[in-house]
Structure 1
Amino acid sequence: MRIEQLTFTRFVAAVLIVFHHFGTGKMHFTNEYTRFLFKQANVGVSYFFILSGFVMIIAYHKKMHVNFMDYMRNRFARIYPVYLLALLSLLALFVISNQVSYVDFVLNLFMVQTWVPSKALVFNNAAWSLSVELFFYVLFPLLYNRFYTKINYKKLIVPIVLFWFISQILFHYLFFQESYPILFYSTEDLKYHPVFHLNEFLIGNLAGLYFINNSNKIKNYDIFIFSLVALVLLALKFPIGLNFHNGLLAVLFIPLIILISLNNGFITKLFNKKAFIFLGEISYGLYILQFVVWGYISDYRLNKYFGLDKAEDFLFCFFLRLAILVGISALSYLYIETPIRNKIKSYANRKKQHIN
């Protein structure tokens, strides 16, 4: 089961994250009207985690049991080929510039960097979220087989919401204790630690269970969706000292995801167009390859080969690199992600048939 209108929202989140990484601090994106959005656009990663939990339920809700090895193979086929492409591309770049750390490379290779103090953002800055996702992937078959298939989702509301609430309280308390290390982790490390993001995945799972049990309530929710987007913008504009990095905006993201999924209005008709779906499909590549593109198409190279000035031509350079990133992500999706995923699945199916 696929909910196509959600796909494009991934592209929107990924692009905003690119703006956050490479546009923040530049005058073109830090005027009084847009500063709040691009400065906090990294909440797009929180949206990814919540959406991931939601989509996992949608994808597996008809199964009575999730086989761990089959599930992990499918997840591996989905995320690792392009993840590895980004990693090897950056390795080559760092070797050329004599800035390579092979310890950091190995941590990223095995997707465990977020578990190691001060290493979450090494090598490929964007890859930290995939390290967190791997933690979710390992847990999901257990959660699904032991709880989601055996307990009515209404009985899961209190424990999951309570876990989310306690996670927010604990994170905010620890985050503002700037000089208080916990088991060798700094307060900055907690922003990226998998355990402190588990609440997002679980609340996404709960939203998925709710949707499955209320999927007959389809109608036009356009006005409510626009209202929720406005509330998200207001929350980012006036954070009142809150930190949204680790799932606090689930209070708005969850109803937004559910309403988009149940909607049959203009937004759904627009987002279901093939071009928008395709942009959503390439969003993973856009996210994981962003530092590769900005690394190879550096300010130095743009100036040396094209005479583009870092300050005067910033806006042109930014959108040039963004366009190249979109193009590379599209090629990656068509010629790396999809073919390799299909080959892995095909090989697994042949192996099963041979065994049977």
Structure 2
Amino acid sequence: MTGLRFVAAFLVFGFHVHTERLVADGPARTAMEWVFSPGAAGVSFFFVLSGFVLTWSARPGDTARRFWRRRAARIYPDHLATWLVAVALAVAGGSGVALAVWLPNLLLVQAWSPDLDVFFGLNTVSWSLACEVFFYALFPVLYLLLPRLPGRALWPATAAALSLVWLVPVAAHALPLADRYWFIWVFPVSRLPEFAAGMLLARIVQEGRWPRRFGLAPATALAIAAYLGSRWLPDDFRIVAATVIPLALLVAAVAAADVAGTPSPWRSSRWVRLGELSYAFYLVHQLVLRLVVHVAGTGHPAAAGLGIALVSLALALAGSWLLHEGVENPAIRLLLRRRTPPATAGSAPKPRT
């Protein structure tokens, strides 16, 4: 699963390359639209994966305080570093940053505001971290409730959680049109069912309730079909609901393959290393694109635009390596000096979240 994390992060990168319009209108841009316009679905993958991995690697006898400390050490240092860079870029650009924007972003509560300038302020992608913070706050309680669910109820509960994702766009129609996108895409409560589905699927795999016939190949094919086919759905359903079920099944299928030792391309050392960089890459890539667009502009011919996109990718990878090695790993070592007992909930490799 660690290797597949980078694929999800790369799709988000491709989505932002597409929305920045580096390539002028024409066949190349049309091809990019087909491949990358649904790329934001990578965020759904991360939300489901987060619930799955945290449940899988839960430590017997752990406390909520220790759990929250590990989560803070894992996500906040990189966020703080990229937040500082985003503030510096805003100040250097002469726009400045209002208190109502920078403070919620610093504290990772910006996703609770329906104001576009707040939830997408500074380092735009950090809105998803605000959702993760909400999930982490609830996880100790949700994890205590999970064992009380009978094994036979796990699949119906998973179906119910994923069905709630489809109900969110329906509920959004009760809101003003200007708030619907925020409610569907950004609002932490609306994204909680994806995290909960990941938790339920972790227990399904742990208890051997995953259907063996639904392996890595069919799960991947279904996810690709939903990803490419989502463009034909209405906007409110396309941005989350269209892909959430196949992506959730893909997470579980990859984990089941890891448990069974089934051959998988995502376990190669190269993909695992990229997966380890994926969190830093996710936080860095749009800041890099912002700088590249400022310098190079947009609307380039196909060859030039794609070349600029590749340069952006290389710079984002370099930046993510610097962030991972210079901030993330040292901060984790510093903040988690006391060693805690290893997880014993399962035998699959433990992806970092």
Q: Which amino acid aligns with 2:46?
A: F
> Which of 52, 55, 60 is equivalent to 1:54?
52
Partner of 1:317: 308
Q: What displacement does 1:230 show?
A: 3.6
Q: CA RMSD in A?
A: 2.8
For the residue of structure 2 that corresponds to 1:346, the secondary structure is: coil
Confirm or deny: 8 A CA contact 1:29 1:38 kept in the other structure.
Answer: no
* Identity value in percent: 23
- Once the two structures are superposed, residues 181-210 of structure 1 have per-residue CA deviations (whole angstroms, 9 ceiling, x without a partner) of 7xxxx1122020000001100111111110
Structure 1, residues 205-258: CA drift from partner, whole Å, max 9, x if none? 111110111189879934324422442244325436662433452321122112
The answer as to 2:266 corresponding to 1:271 is yes
Does the 8 Å contact 1:17/1:44 carry over to 2?
yes
Task: Letter of the 2:283 partner, please give it.
Answer: I
> For residue 88 of structure 2, what is the amino acid of its counterpart?
A
Distance in 1 (CA, whole Å) between partners of 2:93 and 2:236 is 39
**Which position in structure 2 is the counterpart of 1:294?**
289
Deviation at 1:9, TM superposition (A): 1.2
Contact 1:299 1:310 in 2 (8 A): no
Mapping 1:206-285, distance limit 5 Å: 206-214=200-208, 221-239=215-233, 243-263=237-257, 268-285=263-280
Take 1:302 and 1:33, find their aligned partners in 2: how far apart are those partners? 22
Q: Hey, what's the Cα distance between the residues in 2 that align with 1:29 and 1:74?
A: 47
* Secondary structure, counterpart of 1:123 in structure 2: coil
Aligned ranges 1:70-81 → 2 under 5 Å: 70-81=66-77
Any residues of structure 2 matched to 1:335-354 within 5 Å, and which? 335-346=326-337
What's 1:353 paired with? none
* AA at the equivalent of 1:57: T
| Matched residue type, 2:176 | S
- 8 Å contact from structure 1 (residues 285, 333) kept in 2: yes
Give SS of 2:57's match.
Answer: helix
- C-alpha contact 1:199 1:247 (8 A) present in aligned 2: no
Are residues 247 and 241 of structure 1, via their aligned partners in 2, closer, same or farther at CA, if it must alter by over 3 Å?
closer
User: Pairwise mapping of residues 120-139 of structure 1 onto structure 2 (< 5 A)?
Assistant: 120-139=119-138
The question of 1:113 aligning with 2:110 is answered yes
* More helix per residue: 2
Deviations 1:114-160 (A, max 9, x none): 11221211111100000000000000001112x12343343354445
- Map 1:94-113; keep pairs closer than 5 Å: 94-99=90-95, 100-113=97-110
Amino acid at match of 2:305: F
Q: Distance in 2 between matches of 1:278 and 1:266?
A: 19
Amino acid at match of 2:78: V
User: Matched residue of 2:85: which SS?
Assistant: helix
Match of 1:306 in 2: none
Cα deviation for residue 88 of structure 1 reads 0.2
Report the count of equivalent residues: 330
1:201 aligned to 2:162? no
Report the CA distance shift for 1:31/1:178 in structure 2 as closer, same or farther (over 3 A).
farther
Q: Distance in 2 between matches of 1:300 and 1:13?
A: 26
CA apart distance, 1:71: 0.4
Indicate the residue corresponding to 1:352 in structure 2. Answer: none
Deviation at 1:47, TM superposition (A): 1.0
* Unmatched runs of 5 consecutive residues or more in structure 2: 341-353
Q: Is the 8 A contact 1:289 1:325 kept in 2?
A: yes
d(CA) in 2 for partners of 1:138, 1:205: 14
Task: Quote how far apart the aligned CAs of 1:37 are.
Answer: 3.0
Deviation at 1:298, TM superposition (A): 3.3
The 8 Å contact of residues 71 and 136 in structure 2, kept in 1 or not, is answered as yes
In 2, Cα distance between equivalents of 1:29 and 1:293? 25
Q: Say which structure, 1 or 2, has more relative contact order (CA 8 Å, 6+ apart).
A: 2
Alpha-carbon deviation of 1:164?
3.5
- Aligned-partner Cα distance in 2 for 1:334–1:153: 42
> Which runs of structure 2 are paired with 1:133-152 in the superposition (5 Å)?
133-145=132-144, 147-152=145-150
Change (3 A) 1:193 1:310: same
User: Cα offset for 1:50?
Assistant: 0.7
Note closer, same or farther for the CA distance 1:13–1:216 as it changes in structure 2 (3 Å cut): closer
Give the whole-Å Cα distance in 2 for the aligned partners of 1:242 and 1:193.
14
Q: 1:188 to 1:210 in 2, by over 3 A?
A: same
Moved more, 29-38 or 135-144: 29-38
Contact 1:29 1:35 in 2 (8 A): no
The 3 A distance-change label for structure 1 pair 54 and 111 is same
- Give the counterpart letter for 1:207 in structure 2: L
- CA deviation digits over 1:318-344, x for unaligned, max 9? 211110111111122122211210221
**Offset of residue 294 of structure 1:** 2.3
